[in-house]
Amino acid sequence: MVTLAASEELPGCGTQINFKMKKIGILTSGGDCGGLNAAVRSIFFRAKNTYGMEVLGIQDGTVGLMQRPVAFLPLDYQTFSGSLLRQGGTFLGTTNKGNPFKFPMPDGSYKDRTQDIIDGYHELGLEGLIVIGGDGSMSILTEIAKRGNLNIVAIPKTIDNDVGATESSIGFNTAVSVATQALDNLQSTAASHNRTMILEVMGRDAGHIAINAGIAGGADVILIPEINYSINGIVNKLTEMKNRGIVHSLMVVAEAVKTENGKTYEIEFADGQKRLGGIGTYLSEEIMKKTDVECRVTSLGHVQRGAPPTPRDRILASAFGVYAVDLLANNKFDRMVAWKDRKVVDVAISEGISTYKVVDRTDPLIETALALGVYVGDID
């Protein structure tokens, strides 16, 4: 075990380290993404090698803490001896269904399960818990921590990159990479058949994946929820390209883009849940009504979540994991790690989730797209 003097400062935190904490837990919550396993691996190595902590991996997010016995995996060096670093998803499991404050029960009723989570934390003898999740997960766990006197630190992960306090979240770069690769693949088939290929990507109400992948993949039209567009505007762009002798094109549209009359497209599943999706088909139909352009639609869906993490996401996750353990070891709780100005910092979780980060009209990437001749909406 690496030992440090009691007066030695925590890198990046500027406060003193103590070695009282002996057992911590990790859970992944919300939708999966590339880089989660890298974060768990980093947490284990930092906690074990530097502080001699015992590390438990909670299975299936907060659901694991609700179960009796609590569902967890004791983590050791053998756990990470294989290819976990390179795998997408989370080997611990996760959940994005069921609010613990109103959790669906088998008999159809709803129950507040927060005390079960609190009891699970204490039954395991945890002295700290690192939560890897998005804004929703962090909000829920922060409230539970207050009720049950839990020591938590949060790591932001979301392919949407919409957590305002960090420039980048785990999973975003991988999602952009997958979408860019899809555009690269669609380019050749678009050219072969003189078609317009429409790629629908995730992102919820933020257009970060669409604008980044669209520029990287050479899209001619990029539509995001933050900027209004018109079908005529799209048609004018395609007509302009045709007049230049270019009869194939690429479009990227974020899943939360609305129709011209403000309708949000959603797909309803058998369990009654609704998911964003379908705007690509709408655009295809409207374009073909007004032109002789042949369109095809590809919706990437969960391919963006399950892909092997990019090197950038592995590095970011590793840096976040190290810093998160240092925060716990230093008794700095209710903090979220963040990436700012090429370094890891920490902010209060409440601050971290208070701002929903969208693509602003003045974003440099919007200006870049416009300079490249991309139609990004009806901008004056």
Cβ(305)–Cβ(33) below 8 Å:
yes
Active-site pick, 32, 60, 135, 160: 160
In angstroms, what is the C-alpha Rg of the chain? Answer: 23
Q: Helix (H, G, I), strand (E, B), or coil: what is residue 365?
A: helix
Whether residue 69 is preceded by a cis peptide bond, meaning omega within 30 degrees of 0, is yes
Spatial distance between the Cα atoms of 310 and 157, rounded to a whole number of angstroms: 14
Pairing of strands 72-74, 54-58: antiparallel
Under DSSP, the state recorded for 338 is E
What is the CB neighbour count within 10 angstroms for residue 231? Answer: 16
Closest CA to 282 of 304, 302, 253, 303: 253
Pairing of strands 343-348, 335-340: antiparallel
160 is a catalytic site residue: yes
User: CA angle, corner 132, sides to 130 and 136, nearest 5?
Assistant: 115
Give the helix/strand (H/E) hosting 371. Answer: helix 364-371
Residues forming a β-bridge with 312: none
Which residues, other chains included, contact 235 with Cβ-Cβ below 8 Å and sequence gap of 6+? 287, 290, 291
Spatial distance between the Cα atoms of 159 and 245, rounded to a whole number of angstroms: 37
Annotated catalytic residues are 160
